[in-house]
Amino acid sequence: MVVDAHHHLWDPAHREYPWMGDELDAIRRRFDASDLKPLLDANGIDRTVVVQTVSSLEETREFLQSAVENEFIAGVVGWVDLTDRSVDKTIAGLKRSEGGSFLVGIRHQVHDEPDARWLLREDVQRGIAAVGEAGLVYDVLVRTRELPAALETVTRHPEIRFVIDHAAKPRIAAGPADSDWEAALAPMSDLANVTCKVSGLFTEADWKSWTAEQLEPYVRRVIDWFGADRCMFGSDWPVSLLAASYEQVVTTTRQLVEGDDQIMGGTAARVYGLT
């Protein structure tokens, strides 16, 4: 099974996306499952995981319904308010709702929080514990700034499965190495409960002039640190369209990971429990 473990769906006419600034005008339109399906078929992708884009329970419920209606969506990484004392009840309600069996994980846009140590707040830690108790994965959306807090979080919760989105967004456009990123992310690989997504890297490079050769050292470092059995491919479509077509993302990633079956599907299927 080949899995795209990270994509989005959205409709700016339906809701606001605060992160979608003027520089993202090219993707400020509706992208739904019917847009993605032919791309999956053309590129040999069997199943996908759709991931939250805003802090909205309504969006999560819509994604669960999309999974019911579209066979290729095998999992949903949704959103809940981790700071809410009744977050366990909220998660239970989502799991009981239409399509609730497709809920495989929870995510929050941590890198947009002003506090670099937001993850370590007592209420957030309680919420993350509830995610684990519900048997769900916690997707960690951070940059280098937030990685120390993320490292402490995953160390505190060895029983929870964590997935680092977009390899924590190295500054690829700045050059062939990001020493701060390396120093912050590498220690995460020592923790067996952490998996890393090979995703979102095209838009961390120069959108107009990226090459596979520029991405290669970053992809290689992640695989060397985590191993193929703890790395998973994600397209980050349609954000990825800012820099590359869906075909370019899939083809280039396959080239960079040498078509590894674990990275291209096996890891995601195991970690998220996809069928």
Position 272 pLDDT exceeds 90: yes
Name the nearest CA neighbour of 186 among 203, 171, 164, 202: 164
- Tell me phi and psi for residue 141, to 5 degrees: -100, 100
Cα 67 from Cα 61, distance rounded (Å): 10
pLDDT-derived band at 206, boundaries 50, 70, 90: very high
Cα 118 from Cα 82, distance rounded (Å): 11
Range of the domain at 133: 3-272
Position 135 pLDDT exceeds 90: yes
Per-residue pLDDT averaged across 19-41, rounded?
98
Per-residue pLDDT averaged across 45-67, rounded?
99
Task: Report the pLDDT value the prediction gives residue 186, as an integer from 0 to 100.
Answer: 99
Task: Report the pLDDT value the prediction gives residue 176, as an integer from 0 to 100.
Answer: 86
Per-residue pLDDT averaged across 118-125, rounded?
99
Q: How many domains does the chain have?
A: 1
Task: Report the pLDDT value the prediction gives residue 180, as an integer from 0 to 100.
Answer: 98
Per-residue pLDDT averaged across 25-37, rounded?
98
**Which domain CATH number covers 32?**
3.20.20.140
Whether 175 contacts 205, CB under 8 Å: no
pTM here? 0.97
